[in-house]
A = this chain, B = another copy of it.
Amino acid sequence: MGLPAALDLAGIFVFALSGALTAVRQRLDLVGMAVLAGATALGGGILRDVAIGAVPPKAFTSVGYVVMPLAASALVFFWHPQVTRLLPAVLFFDAAGLGLFCATGTGKALAFGLSPVHAVLLGVVTAVGGGVLRDVLSGQVPSVLYDRQLYALPAALGASVVAVAHVLGAGGGAVTAGAAALAFALRLLALRYGWRTPRPRGVPG
């Protein structure tokens, strides 16, 4: 397994942790935990793959994509107080996953022949779609829709970098890594300084 595949599985794992911790907060059982872990980790990629016609989606062909959410569920099931104490670290790695998936999602959509505009859209879907599913399944309005501390915008930035590079004839691992790092950095800065998405005037937070 090369570095990209290892990073990919690590991103899946961290997203799955966030789903499993949501299940604890919502007082769900082991099934709910596995479902939220899987939906959070795999939902964005499944939506992208179905949209671009990459069927069956990678979630249904890669064994690692099933093992990671189950492993995250087992971890949280037995040690959720300890994992909860590591929440700052989970947020840090979640930001890394956000960066990674917006970049790789955009690249996959471009590879399937979508226009740069649509590839950006699907890159963002890849990065935030799983979290949207997690929130809808657990009875909450998706947090990305009111975006405490920029979440979708860093993903849009990373996706745009990949798409613009593609238009300029560039691509490959360096562009993906740079775009992911940029999205990751913007997300961390937003967390650190409390940067928020603008709201329509007259609409309180």
Contact = CB atoms under 8 A, between A and B. Distances in A.
Interface of A: 23-24, 26-33, 35-36, 46, 50-53, 55-57, 60-61, 63, 66, 76-78, 80-81, 112, 114-115, 117-118, 121-122, 132, 136-142, 144-147, 151-153, 196-205
Contact of A77 (B30, B53, B200): B200
A196 B151 CA distance: 37
Contacts of A197: 29-31
A146 B141 CA distance: 19
A145 B28 contact: yes
B61 A30 contact: no
A119 to B, nearest CB: 9
Given A29-B145, A52-B56, 11 more contacts: A26-B145, A29-B198, A30-B199, A31-B151, A32-B145, A36-B145, A51-B56, A61-B114, A66-B121, A77-B200, A78-B200
B50 A50 contact: yes
A140 B137 contact: no
Nearest to A141: B139
Among A28, A57, A200, the one with the most B-chain Cβ atoms within 10 Å of its Cβ is A200
A61 B144 contact: no
Contact of A28 (B23, B118, B146): B146
Contacts of A139: 140-141
A198 B28 CA distance: 10
Contacts of A35: 142, 144-145, 152
A33 B153 CA distance: 13
A142 B205 CA distance: 24
Contacts of A202: 80-81
A56 B66 CA distance: 26
